[in-house]
Structures are given as C-alpha cells and as structure tokens.
Amino acid sequence: MKIINDPSKFDSTLSPPLVLTIGNFDGLHLGHQTLLYTAKEKGGNLIALTFANHPLEVLNPTSVPKKLYSLDEKMTLFSRFDVDVALVLHFNQTIAKQTAFTFLSTLRHSIPFTHLVLGSNAVLGHDRIHGQKGFETLGKSLGFHYTEVPLLEAEGTPISSGRIRTLIHHQKQKEASTLLGRPYDLIE
C-alpha cells in the first residue's frame, strides 16, 4: 500500500478504474470493512481518503472524540483490507470551507477516480451534500459513478465508531471487539 499526503503526488501510472472512498475510518469496524469490500468489488485500484486529524478538531473543537486507533494503526489496518493507496489529508479550514463539488473536483484533477463509494451516512463539503441523489448529481457533473453502502447494523443499531467508544468506556471489550471484527487490543 502506498501512503500519500498530497493528491498531486498521486501515482498517475495506476490504471483505471480508480475507486475512491472517503471517511474518518476510526477503528475500521465491520461497517467500514463492508464499505472497503464494496469499493474493492468495483475492480481496479482502491484509494481510501482519510484524515490525519478528526474533522471536529476544526469544526467543533469542544466535541472531538477520543481516537480508537492511531494513524499508524489505521494505515496497518488499511493494508490488511487491500487498500492500494491511502490518501491522508490534514483537515483544515481550507477543506472545511469547500463545497462538496469543489472538494471532489479538486481531488479528481489529481486523481481521476471513476467510482466514489460512500456509506449512506456520508456528508461532504461546507454545503453538506449527502445521500444517493446528492452524490449521483455530483457524479454526473464530474464524471464518476456513485455507490452508496447501507449502514451495517448489529442488534438493530448501526455499527459506528461512537458506539464502539461507548462500549470501551463501559469496559465491554468483548462487544466492542465483535463490532470491530477483531479483538480491540490486538493491533500490531
């Protein structure tokens, strides 16, 4: 797996299709894994865009959640789930102020992705574009296909990093490990 911090450093020799997925991916839980597997099924090279810092550090600094894993641990997990390129950006005011269209078109200028795969709860841009219709419209404008992945549930509740944090806080490691798909404390 190749790790880059600047879209302009993208290896243009990677052949299409290029499949992009975007997320914080804290914990790389079963829901994230489903997203990555769905993206990988599109064929080609899988590019996972994530952030070195949590976006809330910029958007709402008083409500930043504790990380489940370090960035290095996240990269280790990405490589285990067949991510070809990890694009790790620092979320800042410039990104926060961009519309979804600007953010994706800027990315697409350097990384000519053909597919965008996001979870159904994904929200992008200052204009907070979300949902199948919003991303399909952007895809038509920018020239990519969009796939929405439904949230994965366990016991009728969506699997999320927040839910896992709560379980760990209440010392329910076994339940947290079930949602992660692996023991919580065994990241190498």
**DSSP letters of 108-140?**
HHHS--SEEEEETT-EETTTTEEHHHHHHHHHH
Q: Which tens digits make up the pLDDT trace of 133-174?
A: 999 999 999 999 999 999 999 999 999 999 999 999 999 999
Q: Which superfamily is assigned to 2-151 in CATH?
A: HUPs (3.40.50.620)
Tell me the domain boundaries of the chain.
Answer: 2-151
- Please tell me the pTM assigned to this model: 0.93
Q: What is the pLDDT of residues 77-90, one digit of tens each?
A: 999 999 999 999 99
Q: 């920018």: which residue's tokens?
A: 142
- Residue 188's pLDDT is what? 42
